[in-house]
Amino acid sequence: MPVPRVNVLPDGERWKVRYNFYSKFYPTRQEAIRSAIDMAHAAAQLQQDAEVLVQEGDGPATVIWVASRDSYPPPEGWPAD
């Protein structure tokens, strides 16, 4: 079964979190990433793993959090904006 992926990407002056058919907007990158990690953690409770990817500019998305590897919740203040 494919690993669930929660994507964080810029959308003008705000940030969008996208998971399956769900999208939600946040004013800051940090808020969007925190929300994405919460979603990925919940998905991982139903499966073996989940990932959070961040899209920055035109480059490829980068995996920044993996449920089986990283702490939940992440340390306070992480990630820095």
Q: How large is the greatest C-alpha to C-alpha distance in the chain, in angstroms? A: 35
Question: Which tokens is 56 given?
Answer: 């920055």
Over the stretch 11-60, which tens digit does the pLDDT of each residue have?
999 999 999 999 999 999 999 999 999 999 999 998 889 999 999 888 89
Q: What is the C-alpha to C-alpha distance for residues 66 and 53, in angstroms, rounded to an integer?
A: 9
Give exposure, 48-64, as e/b (b: 16+ Cβ within 10 Å): eebbbbbbeeeeeeeeb
pLDDT at 56: 87
**Domain chopping of the chain, boundaries:** 5-66
Q: What is the pLDDT of residue 81?
A: 65
Q: Which of 45, 16, 20, 50 is nearest to 33 (CA)?
A: 16
- Compute the radius of gyration of the chain from its Cα atoms: 12
Residue bearing the bigger pLDDT, 67 or 76: 67
What's this model's pTM, rounded to 2 decimal places?
A: 0.92
